[in-house]
Amino acid sequence: MEKSDKQHLTLPLLPLRDVVVFPYMVMPLFVGREESILALEAAMAQEKKLFLLGQKDAEVDVPGEEDVYTVGTVATILQLLKLPDGTVKLLVEGVSRARMDTFIQGEDYLSADISLMAEEGDDESPEMKLKIKTLLSQFEKLVELGKGIPKEVYTSIAAIPKACRLTDSIAAHIEMTLDVRQQLLELNQLSERVDFLTRLVAEALEMLDVEKRVQGRVRSQVEKSQRQYYLSEKIKAIQKEMGDLDDNGMPANELEELEEKIKASGMPKEAMDKSLSELKKLRMMSPMSAEATVCRNYIDTMLLVPWKKTSKVSHDLIKAMKILDADHYGLKEVKERIVEYLAVQKRVKQLKGPILCLVGPPGVGKTSLGESIARATGREFVRVSLGGVRDEAEIRGHRRTYIGAMPGKVIQKLSKVKVKNPLFMLDEVDKMAADFRGDPASALLEVLDPEQNNAFNDHYLEVDYDLSDVMFIATANSMNIPGPLLDRMEVIRLSG
């Protein structure tokens, strides 16, 4: 180590990655670069002094002058240990701030001509004592809030008489980014350094306060949910003791009631076997599992579907004509066609003829005619608008593998009306469209074909359902109806 005077030195240079060493700070370092290891050997051969300088970019393996900062720390090597993998572990203690005057690229290692930076400022002035008192007060609050700083550290720092050493000791224990640490290291003016450090401690306190509020809010929510869970479990335990719940947490008599409802519903054998199979699965499941919810929803849907309940159908043609006359003025030909259609059904005693399709412009009374026919025949009236329907699942339902699966519109409406022989109006049948999700018009073929609809298969139910007792009537504004569908219809035109 060459000396020109006490303030100007030439020392081996050790570039540091992601770390800044402050004066009076003892820190372990791991060194692996060959140039840095040679710089350590040079320092050990002299007075164990070296110059620690931060790198601007930690990714640079061979730093040049433009890759390092200009202000660093002169440090003393306290301990050096060579590890088996070739790296070196050393313990250093910061001595003083220093500014690099010349960056020296040696053959074996880096070195630098440096100037020691004397502390500027009077730490005995009343203003400085007040600032130090404020800083220590805030630092004490930071320690009390449990920021991972032992209370013994605060006690030892508070006992330091020199303000310059005190500020560097506090800086060593505060979390901050590398750039902020470098800024603090470069502040040689004591008053500026104390102000900068006070602001950092205040920001850390503010962040801790926010974090504490958030944690308190989260804790209260967790405690509330835990309390609710505890109370619900306690209620379940009491209900089990009283016999209100079974061992699986289900209401004690609920599954038996479901079984009784299934057997009393009038389902065909296939549907009953399927429902009892799902009920058996449900008995084996935890009531909190997702699969249990799927099974329960399926059973509830099967029980809602009308399997045997019907409304009494009237075949009085004179009464039917009176109701049609009372509800609609004129339309003589249309009413006669409707009464003829009803007469044929009365004669053959089954709905095996073509489907009525009322075609006419908007507002001529197609839907209200359907309601009148329902009233005339004593059937419940249900209506589905098919305008804009593009998905085949709207007719056939979704398979149960999908989340949120449900039956198609046909089964939904029958479940709502609670009888298996309503008058079912398919409104705006000419407005259906087809895309990649399927062709709903093709799905309607099975619904409207008297030879097939006695075994209509909804994807959700997975069993056949008899639609042969349903009286279907369709309406349309134009004849823009797919050919196969039109073949199953008897068209009655209503003029505007």
Domain range summary for the chain, segments of one domain joined by +:
8-116, 119-245, 252-304, 317-493
pLDDT at residue 247 greater than cutoff 60:
no
- 119-245 belongs to CATH 3.20.20.100: no
pLDDT, residue 241, reads 67
pLDDT, residue 4, reads 46
The whole-chain average pLDDT of the chain stands at: 84
Residue with the larger pLDDT of the pair 146 and 189: 189
pLDDT at residue 1 greater than cutoff 60:
no
pLDDT, residue 471, reads 87
pLDDT, residue 239, reads 64
**Is residue 251 very low, low, confident or very high in pLDDT (cuts 50, 70, 90)?**
low
pLDDT mean over 213-237: 80
pLDDT, residue 63, reads 86
- β-bridge partners, 493: 359
* pLDDT per position as a tens digit, 466-487: 888 888 889 999 888 888 888 8
CA angle 14, 19, 23 (to 5 degrees): 75
- pTM for this entry: 0.51
pLDDT mean over 119-146: 81
331: alpha, beta or left? (left if phi > 0; alpha if psi -120 to 50)? left
* pLDDT per position as a tens digit, 152-171: 887 888 888 888 888 888 88
* pLDDT per position as a tens digit, 76-96: 999 988 888 888 898 999 888
* pLDDT per position as a tens digit, 359-387: 989 888 888 888 888 888 888 999 998 88
- 317-493 belongs to CATH 3.40.50.300: yes
- 8-116 belongs to CATH 2.30.130.40: yes
Cα 308 to Cα 110, 279, 305, distances in angstroms: 96, 21, 9
pLDDT mean over 39-55: 88
pLDDT mean over 34-41: 88
